[in-house]
Chains A and B, each alone.
Chain A
Amino acid sequence: MRFLAVTAILAASASMAGAQQLAPSPTLDAIKARGNIECGVHLGLPGFSFADDKGEWTGLDVDYCKALAAAVLGDAKKVKFTPTSVQQRWPILQSGQVDLLSRNSTITFSRNASLGLNFQGINFYEGQTFIVRKATNAKSAAELDGASVCVAAGSTEEKNASDWFLERNLKVTITNFQKNDDAIAAYDAGRCDAYTAGVGALAGQRAKLKVPGDHIILTQPISNDPQGPVTRWGDERWQLIVRWVLNGTIAAEMLGVTSANVDQMKASSKNSEVRRLLGAEGNFGATMGLSNDWMYNVIKQVGNYGESFERTVGMGSGLKLERGQNQLWTKGGLLFTPPFQ
């Protein structure tokens, strides 16, 4: 009798699995109904998220939003970008005005634990450092004793810098501005001896200074600031999609799939992982409630992580950042992704 009952339950659950009974995802349903993804980005940070004079958004964080749109809706253009300030970003995400944030925000414990935020992986490893005038002859942050530093209020940078100088017993005046742009303008006007932000952000913002050549970015970082797409709590399936699109772009680089060779790879690659990634084998897309060529669309339209990096912040861009930590682990960097298996 008991054996029969167990068999019945097993049979029932098997038939449900066969019918693709996915857990409901309100976010995904809303996106499909709306026809675009609402992506919260930075107000304007060259290389990461920056709108040109035609209103076209470009940048590493922007590319991630486009990749997500390609995966979910099949079209990388179906993104609505919402510029958010340091102060607005969490409430805008928490209240559901955007589907996710992709905007140079550091992943921290307290944000994860007490703000109802989830971090779905890392698309940029960043270290905080300082920009100073060449005339000061400062070579490292340790020489900034007595200096004043401009910073965006409430950023992790504000606290990192304060902690770092306190630990070394250096007296530094930290002046907090509401926006990064205000802080860098004040630095440029001579109000501060240094401005602090992540290496990538500094490289982008240096271009906004009156005479960029007069300033030097100190090389030694004082913190580690991993950054990546942020979702709110709840809706696990949406989080799954956000996480695996990011993993997919990194895996594609590792597997040598690029926007140029993706058609050929899909048709004739003998590597099973490549075939699963591109939807030629298995049903990985369908498992999440997407079409099976989800990553094919991403690579075809946006490219893999490396392509995106080179185009936005790397050697092919104005920022000219080295890959450094943001290189694949196989090439001495930190980028690592679980296999598509």
Chain B
Amino acid sequence: MSKALALFNDKRVRDVIYQVALVVGLLALTVFFVRNASENMVKAGIASGFDFLWRNSGIDVPFVLTDYTRAGTILDLFWAGVANTMLVTVVALVLATGLGFLVGIARLSSHWLLSTIAGAYIEFVRNIPLLFFVLFWYFGVIAALPAPRDSVSVFGVAFLNNRGLTIPLPDAPANFRWAVAAILLSWLAQWLVSLWARRRKDRTGQDAPMLAIGLVLIVLVPALAIAWASLATRWDIPVLRGFNYRGGFVVIPEFVALLAALVTYTAGFIAEIVRGGIQAVPHGQVEAASALGLRPVRILRLVTIPQALRVMIPPLTNQYLNVLKNSSFGAAIAYPDVVSLFMGSALNNTGQAIEIIAMTLAVYLVIGLAVSAFMNWYNARIALVTR
């Protein structure tokens, strides 16, 4: 008895007991919920299980990246929704980061007008709900664009109207795959050359003509590759027939509106993170750098931002996760994301509420964990190395 008591008084043993008890309790709770739900569903005559995923979907989706058609299964519909969610999230992440950095740096500018405009923008954005942005861009964009018959023509090959932007689509994408491969190779070459140039400078102190090399490898080679691929391909050019343009690929206004809303909204928050990060860098660092004779832009690039990044990454990760979750606002304006397609159309057609909501949650969980794993890796990489 006393021996058992002594064991219990050992902190390590006690911790293990608590943790095991917690895990067992959570498992029991889960089992209870699942059993309760399935028993009640059987009693209420509701079919359960994941068999419905292989049923024919029969739902039209106006904007697909996968090879989904209405003849596909509900599982195909699910993937089409996931792809659309990822597309808008990734593009919005990149653009919002860029815009957010610009606004955040402008906010700190000594130029009065610039910093006031940036400050007004930030305050405006942070105090207005996202749904307002989404609806504003959607109905604003649509009201501003003309009907198909009066489309804005871009060199007679692409057409902008309130049904979206119709762009020519290559008949055979093979040439473009080669072009993409060439571009990636040339960017890899640029990276290797810059590594070599830095080593050489460390060793000999000589500068390499990096600007010229960069222009050729980053801009010229890709431009030539794309030009070649475009000329070597037959294009499916949209033509106006009846109600709208036929052929080509349509970038739907829902995508543009959701993207614009996510970017303008998130940029406001990212700008504040950037401002906070930069202000967290002790002013002595800037003074020291200018005492060394560095110009303001180089100070920003070489001294301030690398140190500010360490402060910025964790809150930035939160914002990135918010972009992912906020992309579900697309459902309000018929952007076919996973919420709209799967939790909307598929849920109503099959009625499998529990399974469908669980799968949708899993999508956000998996993508969210992946984003934060990447950001944690990046955070660890740029962290201050102390010995």
Contact = CB atoms under 8 A, between A and B. Distances in A.
A179 to B, nearest CB: 9
Given A153-B345, A174-B60, A176-B334, A189 B46 contact: no
Interface residues of B, number: 42
Contacts of A172: 60
B351 A114 contact: yes
Contacts of B142: 186, 189-191
Interface string B57-98: 011101000000010000000000000000000000000000
Contacts of B350: 110, 114
Interface in A180-233: 182-183, 185-186, 189-191, 193, 232-233
A interface SS class: mixed
Contacts of B252: 175
A172 B60 CA distance: 9
A190 B147 contact: yes
A190 B348 contact: no
Given A90-B351, A146-B243, A176 B344 contact: yes
B295 interface: no
Contacts of A155: 348
A148 interface: yes
Contacts of A182: 332-334
B244 A146 contact: yes
B43 to A, nearest CB: 7
Given A94-B44, A189-B142, A154 B163 contact: no
Given A146-B244, A176-B340, A116 B62 contact: no
B40 to A, nearest CB: 9
Which among B60, B241, B349 has the greatest number of chain A C-beta atoms within 10 A? B60
A166 B345 contact: no
A146 B139 CA distance: 23
Contact of A178 (B70, B340, B346): B340
Contacts of B242: 145-147
Contacts of A176: 59, 334, 336, 340-341, 344-345
A43 interface: no
A263 interface: no
A116 B244 contact: no
A154 B348 contact: yes
A158 B163 CA distance: 19
Contact of A146 (B41, B241, B343, B344): B241
A50 to B, nearest CB: 22
9 contacts: A110-B350, A115-B45, A115-B46, A148-B243, A154-B346, A162-B58, A163-B58, A175-B62, A190-B142
